[in-house]
Amino acid sequence: MKQLKRIYILSTFLVLSGCISNTAIESPSQDNYFHIINTPIYVLKAENVNQLSFDEDLSKCILSSKDKANLTNKLGTGVGATIVANGLYVIATAGGGFFGPLAVLGGSMVVLAGGGAIWATQATGKYREYSNIEICLENQGYDVVFYGNA
């Protein structure tokens, strides 16, 4: 029972720590930040950065971000579909007897888990794309914040 409580506390900590982000509370000033149109991304204007070099860096980051986001979308959907297929197979092949209903119940849980994986992958696709752009720009020395919804 004590281990179960520790696992609960650890999982709660992990979930809450995932809520921390670099989202700005107030709208960034247009005088101090570039806003990337149709995204929640704002980049701090720096004196040593000209618009042309920023546009080139941004284009590279957007291309690499879309590639990474597409790959993770395909991977997440594929894993979810495989899990769903395995669950449906268990349900379809469940025989009679004592273990038949247990197999159907287990297969149903597996199908739900696979569907959840597919849903979570699709629901977080845009955020992963924005996050990859943020990481790419920060690796190139830019200061990036999120504000609002895209």
**Per-residue pLDDT tens digits for 5-37:** 777 777 666 665 555 554 446 677 777 888 888
Compare 101 and 2 and report the one with higher pLDDT.
101
For 97, list phi and psi in degrees, rounded to 5: 85, -165
Q: Which of 34, 61, 35 is nearest to 45 (CA)?
A: 34
CA dihedral 71, 73, 77, 80 (to 10 degrees): 100
Across 36-141, the runs of DSSP E, i.e. the strands, are 41-44
Q: Is 63 exposed, middle or buried (0-12, 13-18, 19+ CB in 10 A)?
A: exposed
Residues listed for the chain: 150
Q: Which domain holds residue 60?
A: 2-146
Look at residue 24 in the predicted model and tell me its pLDDT: 47
- Mean pLDDT along residues 34-42: 82
- What's residue 15's pLDDT? 60
Question: How far apart are alpha carbons 92 and 52 in whole angstroms?
Answer: 59
Number of domains observed in the structure of the chain: 1
pLDDT in tens, 46-96: 777 777 888 888 888 888 888 887 788 888 888 888 888 888 888 888 777
The string of pLDDT tens digits covering residues 85-123 is: 888 888 888 777 777 787 888 888 888 888 888 888 888
| 1 band by pLDDT with thresholds 50, 70 and 90 | low
**DSSP E strands, the chain:** 33-35, 41-44, 144-146
Phi/psi at 69 (nearest 5 deg)? -65, -40
CA 136 to chain centre: 16
Give percent above pLDDT 70 in the chain.
Answer: 84
pLDDT at 150 over 50: no
Entry pTM: 0.60
Measured at the alpha carbon of residue 74, what is the angle toward residues 68 and 78, in degrees to the nearest 5? 145
**Rounded mean pLDDT of 135-149?**
82
